[in-house]
Chains A and B, each alone.
Chain A
Amino acid sequence: MIRKEMIAMLLAGGQGSRLGVLTSKVAKPAIAFGGKYRIIDFPLSNCINSGVDTVGVLTQYQPLRLNTHIGIGIPWDLDRNIGGVSILPPYEKSTSSEWYTGTANAIYQNLEYMEYYNPEYVLILGGDHIYKMDYEVMLEFHKANNADITLATIPVPIEEASRFGIVITDDKKQIQEFEEKPKEPRSNLASMGIYIFKWEVLRDALIKLKDQPGCDFGKHIIPYCHEKGDRIFAYEYNGYWKDVGTLASYWKANMELIDLVPVFNLYEEFWKIYTKSEVIPPQYIAENAVAERSIIGEGAEIYGSVYNSVIGSGVTIQAGTVVRDSIIMNSTEIGENCTINKAIIAENVNIGNDVELGCGEEVPNKVKPDIYIEGLVTIGENSIIPSGVKVGKNTAISGHTTKDDYEEDLLASGESLIKAGER
């Protein structure tokens, strides 16, 4: 008989619209991070490193990349006879068919999966955070308190607390109150969106609230359980944890990896991050190339100069090109004599010769001023940038662009160039 102590349900279906053109073709968890990883590698690696060997990955938005990345789970040792990783897309039922309408709704639609493994505890995870966390320690905390639900929380600066779900606990860490994005926060303990449930408690709540439209953990399940008197505890996590849901935070989290001794250190032996690695020739740094304060992925070929940047696997940077403060994802090719400043360039992008990215004054983006910020140039995957053009700050480009798309060979700061058929 199958009985797992704890299984994980990993929510990886979200689009992540605050990442702009980066997520126009892939789900946020599938976005490249740190030169060779994808965001979902972090929770998946945490699972296997914590001894959680049964993981359901809930997908919905643009799942192809995620599916091919996860496969049967070999890179994370999650190819198991019993358990392992399962991809759980929405499916049609005899009486209804609906997409996942909220985080809890998605879990509810996969009750059968959880029932099959007959767990004592269910761990609910998001697929969009960068962190290393031992869920087993959290489970011990959960058991020690005989909790029904344990939330992982992290202290945040009090002035930023109004951006988070904030919990107020007593001195035994039992949760007294929640406030979703409070105007005047009374505590600085923010929920990380990581929950451990007693399986019966989760099942009962999901069934009770199954008709709730857009059923969500933060908005519905936790308040419901709190109201009916379940024992909810806050597990305080103090390590590195980063929500990479915005372009600015995504850029910053990548840049932090470059520090001489990064706070989030990928080079530690004891908590490895696993990812699907293709066949891996080493990288080549050419005779006249420069690579300084950067991390560079496998198979990259650098003929130009790279400063303060994160370069993905299989990237080619030709001679005369200078890349600064940028993130360049896998398999992108950059031509000769380009200047790339503070850009996020997605996968398989092709940039011609003599291109300048990130020039001019900084003005807010005209279409999405709260997404394309901090002077970043963001280029969606599979885009083509023709030779000889200049691109300003706070800009976004997606699709196959030609010289005709650039007035006087310039995309001014604050403009977006999204080709038809793209979002």
Chain B
Amino acid sequence: MRAIGIILAGGNSNKMQGLSDKRAIAAMPIAGGYRSIDFVLSNMSNSHIQKVGIFTQYNSKSLNEHLNSSKWWDFGRKQGGLFVFTPTITSDNSYWYRGTADAIAQNISFLKKSHEPYVVIASGDGIYKLDYNKVLEYHIEKKADITVVTKLMPESVDCSRFGCIHTDMNGRIEEFEEKPIVSTSNMISVGVYIVRRRQLIEFLEKAVSEERYDFVNDIIVRYKNLKKIYAYPLETYWNNIATVDAYYKTNMDFLKPDIRHYFFKEYPDVYSKVEDLPPAKYNQGSKVKNSLVSSGCIINGEVTNSILFKKAYIGNNCVIRNSIILNDVYIGDNAYIENCIVESRDTIRANTTYIGQKDKINVVIERNERYVL
């Protein structure tokens, strides 16, 4: 691949109701065994991008733990590899990253020292499969300055939290509004861009010298009439997980056979850090229906239409319905949980009840001492 990769994984969101209190969104657990960033990392690996820079800032601890070895995504090579950039104090400045563009600009030597002609920039919170080579081919064919990967969302979705796009007949972007008050288009940016490396260096240096720090607002939106910016339509599954609602729905999508098949059984694979966990154990009395269960779980009670992440323990006579139980959760006997997301490393005491509504999922964050198994 004639590109290096940049993954923007710095963000948090106040729309996560505390789920991002202890982790960056890119580190959010997905589909029982993965984290959000696995999807973009796997896409990069499967597109044969060998050198990837990850820009983290907010709550990067759990992300760094997850990224402790690049070998899980097959990046552990002498050539290339994963490079994680957290803010550092240098002789020039002691700033945190003031925005996405600033994050890359503060580490501009990463771009300058590379020799690949193109850069793929992608955010760490998208759930999708994409061969970036196809986007690059499109980019070259259109002689574009920047290519933005877009997705046509269903009419029912409120797109005001995304970048909304209008294109001309040829796919050239005419209008790009970042997080409009009222969305005017259902074509949104999925946060994946291709730029020529030298062009990107130029953009970044100019933006930062003008004290502009955001990649979307200060580069894409500003240059949309001056440069040729094209939209590459993504037609396969894509979802973003930056709100509780989207996070819940994306996870629940994996209960659908076609989506599970698309991500887990069709080429190419999604990789993740492998943990050494025993198989899931179903004890006498367990009743599990239409659910995903990960390794290391021990189930005694009832689980319906739910996703159990790694090492969940479900006690006797528990009822878990339409819920997501994140990893390392201990649920005591006789608990009742419906329409909830239970935060990881929680202990749900015996005989407790948590009920959310279908359109308002309850985020459960318990801070009890862990039961001793």
Contact = CB atoms under 8 A, between A and B. Distances in A.
Contact of B295 (A260, A282, A310): A282
B271 A285 contact: no
B33 A281 contact: yes
Interface residues of B, number: 36
B279 interface: yes
Contacts of B279: 34-36, 266, 295-298, 310-311, 313
A272 B31 contact: no
A358 B283 CA distance: 24
Interface in A101-139: none
Contacts of A258: 281
Given A74-B71, A266-B278, A285 B269 contact: no
Interface residues of A, number: 39
A295 B280 contact: yes
B370 interface: no
Contact of B284 (A273, A286, A293): A293
B274 A277 contact: yes
Given A267-B278, A273-B278, A279-B271, A284 B291 contact: yes
B282 interface: yes
Given A267-B298, A281-B32, A285-B291, A292 B276 contact: no
B288 interface: yes
SS of A interface (majority): loop
A66 to B, nearest CB: 19
A282 B309 CA distance: 8
Nearest to A284: B292
A78 B85 CA distance: 29
B103 interface: no
A282 B278 contact: no
B322 interface: no
A37 B113 CA distance: 44
Contacts of B294: 282-283, 298
Contact of A279 (B269, B278, B295): B269
A284 B71 CA distance: 27
Nearest to A272: B276
Interface string A7-42: 000000000000000000000000000111000000
A283 B292 contact: yes
Given A75-B276, A289-B289, A281 B263 contact: yes
A269 to B, nearest CB: 10
A290 B307 CA distance: 16
A275 interface: yes
A290 B284 CA distance: 11
Contacts of B187: none
Contact of A280 (B33, B263, B287): B33
A279 B272 contact: yes
A289 B278 contact: no
Contacts of A281: 31-33, 260, 263-264
Contacts of A284: 255, 260, 291-293
A94 interface: no
Interface in A364-393: none
Interface string A294-309: 1111110000001000
B163 interface: no
A97 interface: no
B296 interface: yes
A38 to B, nearest CB: 13
A288 B289 contact: yes
Nearest to B289: A287
B80 interface: no
Contacts of A292: 282-286
B25 interface: no
Contacts of A293: 282-284
B290 interface: yes
Contacts of A282: 31-33, 292-295, 307-308
Interface string A134-148: 000000000000000
A296 B288 CA distance: 12
A318 to B, nearest CB: 13
B316 to A, nearest CB: 11
Given A273-B276, A295-B279, A279 B270 contact: yes
Interface in A18-76: 34-36, 74-75
A363 B10 CA distance: 67
10 contacts: A267-B281, A274-B276, A282-B295, A283-B293, A284-B291, A288-B289, A291-B286, A291-B288, A292-B283, A299-B264
Interface of B: 31-33, 71, 255, 260, 263-264, 269-272, 274, 276, 278-296, 298, 307-308
Given A36-B279, A279-B269, 16 more contacts: A35-B278, A266-B278, A275-B276, A280-B295, A281-B31, A281-B264, A282-B293, A283-B293, A284-B291, A285-B288, A285-B289, A289-B288, A289-B289, A293-B283, A296-B280, A297-B279
The 10 closest A-B pairs by CB, nearest first: A282-B32, A35-B279, A266-B278, A281-B264, A282-B294, A291-B282, A285-B288, A282-B292, A295-B279, A277-B274
